[in-house]
Amino acid sequence: MSTATATAPLCRNFVNGRWIESRSGKALERRNPANLQEVVNVSPLSTREEVSTAIAAAKAAFPAWRDTPGPTRGKMLGRAAAIMETRKDELALTLCREEGKTLKESMIEVQRSAGILEFFAGEGRRLGGTTMPSEHAKTLNYTLKQPLGVVGAITPWNFPVAIPVWKLAPALVTGNTVVLKPAELTPLCAVKIVEIFQEAGVPAGVLNMVLGAGENVGDHLLQDRDVRAISFTGSNEIGSLIYGQAARQMKKCQCEMGGKNPVVVLRDADLELATESTVMSAFGSSGQRCTSTSRVVVEEAIANRFVEMIVERTREMKVGSGVDPEVIVGPLVDEQQLKTVRHYIEIGKREAQLLIGGERMAGRDYDNGYFVAPTVFDHVAWNSVIAQEEIFGPVISVIRVADFEEALRVANSVKYGLSSSIYTNDANRIFEFIDKIESGIVHVNAPTMASEVQLPFGGVKATGVGMREMGGAAIDFYSELKAVYIDYNGRRQ
């Protein structure tokens, strides 16, 4: 804990259209994970009472925002997208310094966030239902979508711009009011997002943000009766607790959680394409993406050559601070994540063959940051710890299989089911994989990490529960569906 310093900005809560300093007297100091000597910001550990104030503001603002026409709400999101474009350099640098992504990755995330805002701005003109024929004469049946009320959004540190935006945009355009609780590790990114919405003209109370710890801020959002829905992205441990408590309170809830994403490489695959896609998807963002490639399931007939290519490409990847344009792999986000990744690497050394990496980076450029070398394990058993558990770091596990049928079984052998990919030119195998793979997102000859805003995002099994995010599915989550019957017959039917 710390108090604000002269060089680091003090992050504040945003409640009822005003920036308010927390009264808790407690704060967290956030340092650049690539350079621990740099304090990026100081953020408060807000109290439950401050969360209550934000919820009350959102509740009071709801009736007017609900009655605002959808196209008008959409125009506000459109203005936010335009403002984000003008501030993209500033926002990307903040993301790089606070979370540790490279500047290139940070810029991609900001551009994607602007695209999300543009998409949902257009949804303001498409908030329609359907008309259905009636069994009775002179009767009109139709459905319409209406907002839920106050929504709580709890977001993680690994995509501190995109994930808040992809929760806020559909929630707001459908007429809900929101209390945002961002991750403790990335408060400044959230502050800048809210600044953009404020500049775009979001009315007072419609969007609120309270900074602090999950056991206070997040839990109070979950417990408060005036919060009608919770959208959570984070760990399975926390997500399962949230979903259970939300169900007991009859709150609408969606939880996006872990992943252990496989890439299946068959003997007829384009190995150069598969190599580049696999390495970038595994090591980009230092492996700290729920859609990162974690397992490589490869047919034995081509395994030796493919593994050689993976190791060769891994050796070329520069590790360091994300502000260096040549760096591909930045730091892990904090000391706890560093300990977790190193713990799994030590397990991997006992379970499999370490080919490259496996150590904490040392030297002048690394001693003040949380750097781990990109790591590749070979001859990994499908049921080993490193093949089954989410590591959330720059680690690849190569699992060798005899044929496609075994590859499919191995790919489906984990409790998660977010994203998957197959590299082959065999159309029969492609469509069988699409049919039988247990994942919410499937890629063919493309990396596991890719997604687009107009398509639903989410997974199956332990990865996700509740309705999907992004695309039209997001509109459905943030809406209640009402069926309407209009009888204009003039007599009893």
pLDDT tens digits, 59-83:
999 999 999 999 999 999 999 999 9
Q: Check whether residue 338 and residue 429 sit in a common domain.
A: yes
Q: What's the token pair of residue 234? A: 């984070």
- The domain that contains 375 carries what CATH number? 3.40.309.10
d(CA 220, CA 209): 13
Whether residue 385 has pLDDT greater than 60: yes
Q: Are residues 412 and 358 in the same domain?
A: yes
Distance CA 183, CA 186 (A): 6
Count Cα atoms within 13 angstroms, Cβ side, for 158. 19
Tell me: pLDDT of 305 over 80.
yes
Same domain, 278 and 426: yes
Per the structure, the complete domain to which residue 186 belongs is given by: 13-257+455-482
Question: Average per-residue pLDDT in the chain?
Answer: 96
Let me know if residue 75 belongs to a domain. yes
Q: Is residue 113 a contact partner of residue 162, using CB atoms and an 8 Å limit?
A: yes
Q: How many CB atoms lie within 10 A of CB 323?
A: 16
**Looking at residue 470, what is its pLDDT?**
96
The β-bridge relationship of strands 131-132 and 35-44 is unpaired
435 lies in a domain? yes
pLDDT at 446 over 60: yes
Candidate list 105, 109, 118, 256, residue with the active-site label:
256
Counted residue by residue, the chain has a size of 493
Q: Is residue 487 part of a domain?
A: no
pLDDT at 2 over 70: no
Told to judge if 256 belongs to the known catalytic residues of this protein, a careful annotator would answer yes
SS3 readout for 32-62: ECCEEEEEEEEEECCCHHHHHHHHHHHHHHH
Active site residue: 98, 189, 290, 299, which one? 290
Dist. CA 54–CA 269, nearest whole Å: 53
In this structure, are residues 242 and 230 in contact, taking their beta carbons and an 8 Å threshold? yes
69 and 45 belong to one structural domain: yes
Q: Is 255 a catalytic residue?
A: no
Q: Are residues 423 and 281 in the same domain?
A: yes
Phi, psi of 483 (to 5 degrees): -95, 135
Q: How far is CA 124 from the centre of its chain?
A: 23
Q: What percent of the chain has pLDDT over 90?
A: 97
The verdict on residue 413 lying in a domain is yes
Residue type, 175: G
What is the pLDDT averaged over residues 258-274?
98
Note whether 162 and 276 are same-domain residues.
no
Mean pLDDT of 200-208: 98
Q: Which helix (H) or strand (E) holds 148?
A: none
Task: Tokens for 18, please give them.
Answer: 């005003």
- Are residues 221 and 112 part of one domain? yes
One domain for residues 176 and 202 = yes
> What per-residue confidence (pLDDT) applies to 3?
41
Whether 67 is covered by a domain: the verdict is yes
* Residues 293 and 435 grouped into a single domain: yes
CB 15 within 8 A of CB 208: yes
* Residue 216 and residue 141 share a domain: yes
Asked if 268 and 234 sit in the same domain, the reply is no
Say which amino acid occupies 420: S
What is the structure's pLDDT at 331? 97
- Residue 336 host element (H or E): helix 335-351
pLDDT at position 312 is 98
| Chain centre distance of CA 388 | 21
Predicted local distance difference test score (pLDDT) of residue 491:
81
- In this structure, the answer to whether residues 207 and 322 fall within a common structural domain is no
- The total number of structural domains that make up the chain: 2
Given a cut of 90, is residue 463 above it in pLDDT?
A: yes
In this prediction, residue 168 carries a pLDDT of 98
Domain-embedded: residue 172 = yes
164: burial class by Cβ within 10 Å (0-12, 13-18, 19+)?
buried
Domain CATH number, residue 195: 3.40.605.10
